[in-house]
Each structure stands twice: as C-alpha cells, then as structure tokens.
Amino acid sequence: MPRKKEIEEKLKTVNADIGDIIRIIRNDEQHEGVLMPHHEFSDDDIITIKLKTGYNIGIAVDKKTEILLVQKQKTTEKQTKRIPYDQKKPTISIVGTGGTIACYIDYRTGAVHPASSAEELAFSVPEIFDLCNVKSQVAYQMLSENIEVSHWQALAEIIAKELNNGAAGVVIPHGTDTLGYTAAALSFLLKNLSGPVVLVGAQRSSDRPSSDAAQNLIAAATVAATSDIGEVVVVMHGEISDTFSTIHRGTKVRKFHTSRRDAFQTVNDLPLGKVENGAITLHAPYRKKTTGPVTTDTNMEEDVAILYFYPGMKPKDIPEKKGIVLAGTGLGHVSTKLLPRVTKLIKDGTVIIMTSQCLFGRVNMRVYSAGRDLIKVGVLSGEDMLPETAYVKLMWVLAHAKNKQDIEQLMMTNIAGETAERTKSNAFLQQNN
C-alpha cells in the first residue's frame, strides 16, 4: 500500500530522496542507512532503509519520529557506463520476461528493481561482457505464474527474429515457477534453431548474499554465446554451492524444490551437460544448431487441462475439454469409477493422455487391468513425458493434427526430445548425488 502522506511530507521537508543516507530517531533508538524505495507490500507507516551491513530494515514512523538527512546520494560510475561492444566476440540477445532473475540492483540503493531497459539488464552481471556482446530487450515484466499461451507464442517470434538477425544464442531470464512450461512450449514452437535458446532463473534475488542470479546468468550466457546446441535448454545451479551449473533439455526439466538453488532437475533422462569454471561439457546427445533460418510454428489449442488424480475424485471432476492430460497414479491409473466418464468424454472427442504423478519412470498401462481398461477406451500413453510437457505437446498437436489417427501418431512421435523409446535407468535424481 502507498505510504502515508504525512511520512512523504516528513521526507520532503528534509529533502530526502531514494538513495540518500538518512537517520531515523524514534524514542531512544536511532537508525542510519540508505533510504529505499517504498515497497507496495509494506504498511503505510514504514520507511525502509539499507543499513551499512547490507540488511534492509523497515521502521514504523509515527508523529514523534524524527528524520534527518545525513548525506545526499553520490552518482556511481556504473550508472553512466554504456554497454561495451567488441566485434571479435559473439553477440547474444537477452530477452527479459520477468521473475527474480530479471531484476537488477540499483547501485545507489542496493534495492532490486525490475529492469526496464537493455542497459539495466546487462549491467546486472557485467562479467557477461568478458564473454560476449549483449543485445537486450524486455519482452515482459511478469511473475511467471501469470504467463499464458499467448506469451509463449509472442516470445517464440521474438527469439526467431533475434537468431535470424545474427544472435549467436538467446538468453531468456524467466520466473522459476513456470520456467519448465515455457521451456517445453518453446521447444515445440521453434524450429530449425540456429543457436541455443537458454532459459534461466534465480531462486534468490540479487540483493541476497546467497543469490544464484549471477552464476546462473553467466552460465546461461556462456551456453548461448559459445555452444553449438540447437535446442531450447534450461541452465540453473547444479548443486547448492556455487560449483557448476547444469544444462537441462527444455522438454525434460522440472522445478523440484521451492527454494533450493539446485531446484531444477532433468526427469527420465540425464542432463545435457554442465558449465563449470566457464567451460561447457556436453555429455548427452543433443540437436546441433543449424545454419538457419529459424522458423516458428505457434498454433496451439488452448482448451486443454492437466488433471491430477486423487482418491475420491468424482466423474464430474473431469471437465469437457478438447484435451486432458491426466497425472494418474503409479504406472498410469485412475479409479475404475471414473471409467464411464472417461469413456464418454473420449467418445465425444476429448483426447486424453495418461502421465504419472510419480514423475520418474514411464507410464505402462498394460500391467494392471485398470490400465488395460483405460487403453481399451482410448486413453493414450504419455510414456516418459512430464505431465507439463505432455500438456504443451497436446496443445500443439491438437492445433496441427487433422484427425484422431494424426493426433495419436504425433503424440507418439518424439518432436523435441520430450520422449525416448528407453528411459535410462540411472536417470533418477542423479544430479544431486
């Protein structure tokens, strides 16, 4: 909520602006620090200052609280710098979409802001300029839970344009919550990639000492600028300390932890490789970049849902849709009580794909009668696909297939590395061992 007018007046009276050092005297306490921007989640009587220790504290200000201006801010050199250009280096394009990673530190206050220009984004990690030239733009400034299909489609067009205009690779800073969905979606929407498309996020914002933002961005830029990958990949911390970053295939990756820096893992496969001390090692087969041009194929049927089965689920809990991805139990099951509903929906034209809530391992509906019954009524197997990958794939397939047979065939075809005939048995929570 906005700050109270009386408090704004107090600050104005002493000529205190954001970035200035102020002293707040309240009862017999005194606090000195840099005046921070007012946060919309803060109460209306709070002034936030950054202490010398780097910590931000919010102080409740009342009528008796005194505010003194200690020092006006100094403009730092960094603010006036321009993005450097070296014609011997490759140029990457950074396309910001939002999330913690797309925020930069204001060098005056140490506050984290969403970057709204190319310079701000690039200067958040100036080390990248040692590696490559940076062209950058902000496509969105969104929390990733608000990203929709239309954002994936527009993003695919921007990426194709950047690569076709000569970028060696594209880095997409993205909120981590739905980063896996966007990575999977872009994997289907972009064709004939002439360079790596690297999604990257941060679990901890760049004003925290434990932030993963800088390492992740540098590793992502390294992959974009110097690798010969022609796929959509995700680059994030490989383990909790700052040792290496892992390169995951966009259709096989999921956020497994709410807060750990190594939250992302490859599912049902091994990661493509890693970035350690600036060097890329690729140890799994990958699609190599082409000479272009990159094309897009962005039609998607949006009337698709993912449904997580739970004991007690009722037939009416399964809606009428063009497509449904079920996250069933174990090898791919739902309660037999749901069978008549599933049968009717399929008869009426809904395409239903079975995946597993187990995440690791492959769906196999042939083992138990419950599964065989589902196959009989036309439920298709999602094989070793993540439910979210099956979801974006089904949206794409429904917009491209001409008939039922086409749908079935496309769902079974490996289009973007999303499914393999055999799942490597050692691809189970490998990355953190």
Binding site for ligand GLU (CB under 6 A): 99-101, 143-145, 175-177, 201
From the candidates 50, 255, 274, 289, which is the catalytic residue? 255
Least distance CB 198 / ligand GLU (angstroms): 16
Bridge partners (DSSP) of residue 233 are: 198, 249
Is 176 known to be catalytic?
A: yes
The one-letter amino acid at 198 = V
- Residue 169 vs 201, nearer CB to ligand GLU: 201
Least distance CB 139 / ligand GLU (angstroms): 14
- Residue 100 vs 245, nearer CB to ligand GLU: 100
Is 255 known to be catalytic?
A: yes
**Residue 50 CB partners (closer than 8 Å, separation 6+):** 33, 34, 36, 56, 109, 110, 111
Give the three-state DSSP class for 279.
strand
Integer CA distances (angstroms), 161 to 155, 158, 192, 217, 416, in order: 10, 5, 13, 22, 20
From the candidates 91, 176, 350, 355, which is the catalytic residue? 176
Least distance CB 62 / ligand GLU (angstroms): 34
From the candidates 48, 100, 178, 419, which is the catalytic residue? 100
Which helix (H) or strand (E) segment holds residue 351: the answer is strand 351-356
- Residue 133 vs 144, nearer CB to ligand GLU: 144
Helices and strands, counts by H and E, the chain: 11, 23
- Residue 4 vs 39, nearer CB to ligand GLU: 39
Residue nearest to ligand GLU (CB): 175
The one-letter amino acid at 408 = E
Sort 318 into a burial class: Cβ within 10 Å, 0-12 / 13-18 / 19+.
buried
d(CA 389, CA 391): 5
Is 191 known to be catalytic?
A: no
From the candidates 177, 322, 329, 423, which is the catalytic residue? 177
Least distance CB 265 / ligand GLU (angstroms): 16
- Residue 220 vs 346, nearer CB to ligand GLU: 220
- CA–chain centroid gap for 308, Å, is 22
Contact 22, 35 (CB under 8 A): yes
Residue among 242, 244, 233, 231 nearest 281 (CA): 244
Is 177 known to be catalytic?
A: yes
Least distance CB 425 / ligand GLU (angstroms): 32
Residues with active-site annotation: 100, 176-177, 255
